Chain A
Amino acid sequence: MSKPESSQLALRYAIIAIVVGGLALLFYAVASGLGQRIVTAQEFVDYQEAGNPHLGFRRAHAKGFCIAGEFISSNHVGPYTTASVFNERSTPFVGRISTGGSNPTAPDLASSVRSLALSFNPGTRDAWNTAMNTPPVMPVRTPDAFFAQANAFAPDPETGERNPERIAEFLAAHPETQAAREWQASYTPTGSFATETYHSINAFFLVDDEGSKRAIRWSARPSSHTVPDSVIELDDDPNALRNELVARLENRPVMFDLIFTFANEDDDETDPTVFWGDDRTQRLAGVISIHSATTEAEGNCDGINFDPLILPRGMAATDDKILRARSAAYAESYRRRARENLFQAREGGSQ
């Protein structure tokens, strides 16, 4: 075996160093964001934490409680989707009712967004998770614009107040915020979680047994039997709305009609900023019947990531950029709070 010349040897060492060093550098660069052209999941969740993470809790919709019940299918939408939830008579669910924001002890009445999230058939191919909010539309179409909006509306770190110029600038650059703003102006929060309407906001596809897809949005509307006013007086207890729901459940289940709204020919299913009015075809998919409510500590919704892209056979994601962005952000928030729970670092939440 012939030993190479020393200059050749140096070259060969250089080749090894370049290959191994180059690969190491590439791993490091990709892990630190090389090739990420838009705001990342970590940046988004950092923003939601606002430098003050509530350890062990969701980084968005942190304040909430667990619910359980069943979905009773109407048999009206079975022809459009093979999803078992809409073809079987009834499917149990675990869910969560929450308010917007990152503070797990915030007063229920302080938040402008209320939410209903449901999880069916975990761990199976028929698993379906949905997280719905009170607004029917998003103000923007992309995660970048959402991030820009959040920053524009954030209080100035020096004055502690919102900067109207920055807000005006943002709104001028984003006319698509119109429908969301009009809705916001017209909306008055009700006196109960049971009397709100919750929206999927993003559109999804139903897939039938021939593989044909139809774009829909859904909303959970209070069923006609719902008592319209608060059943107890709302006091200044931070859990006033939860107490109200618990009081309702003492008498009977809290029910919502799950309504599917089918896209029109002209509707763009990838655009969550446009309102889909009632002139479209609507079908009652079934009834969401909530039987019980428990705190997060006692319930079993804490381990659930209500990622809206956990979809069963018979449903599929649209190319809506906001919808597609949600999965990775939810996973990052889920990872952080799971790690904190593992290391027992959870803060005390609302009891």
Chain B
Amino acid sequence: MSTRSYHVAARVLHWSMALLILSMLFAGLAMVQSLEPWHLTLLQLHKSFGVVALVAVLARVIIRARFTPPPLPNSVPPLQKKVAKLSHILLYAAMFAMPISGWLMQNAAGRPVVVFDMFALPSLLPQNLALYGFLREFHGWVAWAFIALILVHIGAALHHGLIKRDGVLQQMLGNKPKD
């Protein structure tokens, strides 16, 4: 059983980003269908908080490089460790791919990305229909892959916490594992 947990900054970021990303996914799926007056407000919030998520994931990689995460307990077989590592890499990839594709998609549409009505991000791409088509579909495909990953991730975390009870969930919760 491992005795260390993730650095407090990594834990705070993990849980706040989990909440943020789940909200972003639900908001995205709901708003693209809605003709209700709140569509405009939700779209602006989606874009603004999406940029927050991009900044947060940047901070998270830095923290992760700076503070070595605790190792998985030895009870976890090597292959499973590799799978766990790969799944974390994929989660990071999705955390970058979603906001970046969102931003670029808006560039290709010629729409500004205004963050909380304060400033606009630079436009990095020209307005282009096929480019928009690719980025718009990419934003949708990655969203569904991300959802699948998150579900597996939560399943695995709960499996560690409730069935194996090997302290892996505690590493992220930050409580001292009790014996």
- Residues on A lying within 8 angstroms of B by beta carbon are 1, 4, 9, 12-13, 15-16, 19-20, 23-24, 26-27, 30-31, 33, 35-42, 44, 119, 122-125, 127, 143, 300, 302-305, 307, 309-310, 317, 319, 321, 324-325, 327-329, 331-332, 334-335, 337-343
Q: B29 contacts A31, CB within 8 Å? A: yes
Contacts of A325 in B (CB 8 A): 35-37, 39
Contacts of B179 in A (CB 8 A): 1
Among A4, A41, A317, the residue within 8 A (CB) of B34 is A41
Minimum CB–CB distance for B153 against chain A, Å = 10
Bitwise, B28-52 to A at CB < 8 A (1) or not (0) is 0111111111111001000000000
Contacts of A125 in B (CB 8 A): 112, 114, 120
Contacts of B127 in A (CB 8 A): 122-123, 300, 303-304
Lowest 10 A-B CB distances belong to which pairs?
A: A122-B110, A338-B133, A342-B133, A123-B123, A325-B35, A303-B129, A324-B37, A12-B162, A40-B33, A143-B35
Contacts of B29 in A (CB 8 A): 27, 30-31
Q: B136 contacts A339, CB within 8 Å? A: yes
Minimum CB–CB distance for A168 against chain B, Å = 26
Among A302, A303, A327, the residue within 8 A (CB) of B39 is A327
**Could you tell me the distance between the alpha carbons of A324 and B123 in the complex, rounded to whole angstroms?**
25
**Could you tell me the distance between the alpha carbons of A36 and B30 in the complex, rounded to whole angstroms?**
8
**Could you tell me the distance between the alpha carbons of A334 and B132 in the complex, rounded to whole angstroms?**
9
Minimum CB–CB distance for A170 against chain B, Å = 19
Dominant SS at the B interface? helix
Task: Name the CB-closest residue of B to A336.
Answer: B133
With A27-B25, A124-B123 as contacts: A328 and B33 at CB distance below 8 Å: yes
Bitwise, B98-133 to A at CB < 8 A (1) or not (0) is 000000000111111010000010010001111011
**Could you tell me the distance between the alpha carbons of A19 and B169 in the complex, rounded to whole angstroms?**
15
Question: How many residues on chain B are close to A (CB under 8 Å)?
Answer: 45
With A42-B33, A124-B123, A303-B128 as contacts: A23 and B154 at CB distance below 8 Å: yes
**Could you tell me the distance between the alpha carbons of A258 and B32 in the complex, rounded to whole angstroms?**
32
Q: B36 contacts A324, CB within 8 Å? A: yes
Q: B111 contacts A332, CB within 8 Å? A: no
**Could you tell me the distance between the alpha carbons of A322 and B123 in the complex, rounded to whole angstroms?**
30
Other A-B pairs, 7, CB within 8 Å; known A325-B37, A340-B133:
A15-B158, A16-B163, A41-B34, A123-B123, A125-B112, A338-B136, A342-B130
Task: Name the CB-closest residue of A to B36.
Answer: A38
Among A27, A37, A341, the residue within 8 A (CB) of B133 is A341
Minimum CB–CB distance for B164 against chain A, Å = 9
Q: A123 contacts B32, CB within 8 Å? A: no
Q: A44 contacts B35, CB within 8 Å? A: yes
Task: Name the CB-closest residue of A to B132.
Answer: A338
Minimum CB–CB distance for A222 against chain B, Å = 28
Minimum CB–CB distance for A233 against chain B, Å = 35
Contacts of B129 in A (CB 8 A): 302-303, 337-338, 341
Contacts of B33 in A (CB 8 A): 33, 36, 40-42, 328
Minimum CB–CB distance for A213 against chain B, Å = 15
Minimum CB–CB distance for A85 against chain B, Å = 14
Among B108, B109, B147, the residue within 8 A (CB) of A27 is B147
**Could you tell me the distance between the alpha carbons of A4 and B127 in the complex, rounded to whole angstroms?**
59
A to B CB contacts below 8 Å, 15 in the list: A1-B166, A15-B158, A16-B159, A19-B154, A24-B147, A27-B25, A33-B33, A36-B34, A123-B123, A310-B111, A319-B37, A325-B35, A329-B35, A340-B133, A341-B130
